[in-house]
């Protein structure tokens, strides 16, 4: 998740990280290797959430490191270097999606809940008798939700990932996607509504739905 800068309080950089940045600016190859070992896992996870293709996600990480090296001299640690690299990775993934024209407005209506004339959900699930979360493994839950996020059309999935998983502001996400803030809010609302419907089988313990 992105760490936003608080204008009222300066970011206090860790001395170890400060030394690493100095070494990177000096062209130290070992410092770059250390950075790759430390940050590549999180960067790859961020790329995967957007491009959903392992080879493409790895390419995004590689492109992000190349871009970061070119810009390292101008980097000022207002945020942790990991957050900076994460933002570069996400931008690389978005660029790849735009090139592939995968952000077309694919209809999402079939995934949204339906309502009758009185405003009631036509397919509302029955309330569970007990809290199902208590006996479920966290890893299994996350895997289930990830599979449902992947069912969203790319335009809506990307909006959801940027706002809810990466922690970008509505304006930042809208600017990155090249849409108005109002359109971003609508897209995000519809994505959340569709996802809520998709994960409702979780409440009954049905992971096959």
Express each pLDDT in 39-58 by its tens digit: 999 999 999 999 988 999 99
209 in a domain, yes or no? no
pLDDT at 137: 58
Q: Which of 1, 151, 134, 169 is nearest to 79 (CA)?
A: 1
Tell me, yes or no, whether 80 and 116 share the same domain: no
Q: Which of 49, 54, 85, 79 is nearest to 67 (CA)?
A: 85
161 in a domain, yes or no? yes
169 in a domain, yes or no? yes
Q: How many structural domains are present in the chain? A: 2
25 in a domain, yes or no? yes
Range of the domain at 125: 109-204
- The share of the chain scoring above pLDDT 70, in percent, equals 74
Q: What is the CATH number of the domain that holds 151?
A: 1.10.10.10
Q: What is the CATH number of the domain that holds 69?
A: 1.10.1740.10
pTM above 0.85, yes or no: no
Give the angle 50-71-19 at the CA atoms, nearest 5°. 105
Kindly report, residue by residue over 107-166, the tens digit of the pLDDT.
Answer: 676 666 665 554 455 555 554 454 555 444 567 777 888 888 999 988 899 999 999 999
Cβ-contact 18, 183 below 8 angstroms: no
Which of 79, 99, 119 is a domain's end point? 99
7 in a domain, yes or no? no
């Amino acid at each position: 998740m992105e760490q936003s800068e608080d204008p009222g309080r300066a970011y206090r950089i860790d001395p170890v990280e400060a030394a690493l940045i100095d070494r990177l600016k000096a062209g130290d190859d070992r410092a770059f290797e250390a950075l790759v070992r430390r940050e590549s896992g999180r960067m790859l996870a961020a790329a995967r959430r957007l491009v959903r293709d392992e080879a493409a996600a790895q390419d995004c990480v590689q492109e992000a490191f190349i871009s970061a090296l070119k810009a390292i001299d101008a980097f000022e640690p207002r945020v942790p270097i990991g957050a900076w690299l994460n933002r570069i990775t996400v931008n690389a993934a978005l660029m790849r999606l735009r090139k592939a024209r995968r952000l077309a407005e694919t209809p999402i209506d079939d995934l949204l809940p339906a309502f009758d004339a009185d405003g009631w959900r036509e397919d509302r699930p029955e309330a569970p008798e007990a809290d199902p979360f208590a006996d479920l493994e966290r890893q299994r839950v996350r895997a289930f939700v990830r599979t449902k996020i992947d069912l969203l059309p790319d335009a809506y999935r990307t909006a959801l990932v940027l706002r809810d998983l990466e922690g970008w502001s509505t304006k930042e996400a809208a600017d990155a996607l090249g849409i108005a803030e109002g359109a971003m809010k609508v897209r995000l609302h519809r994505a959340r509504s569709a996802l809520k419907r998709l994960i409702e089988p979780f409440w009954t313990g049905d992971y096959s739905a």
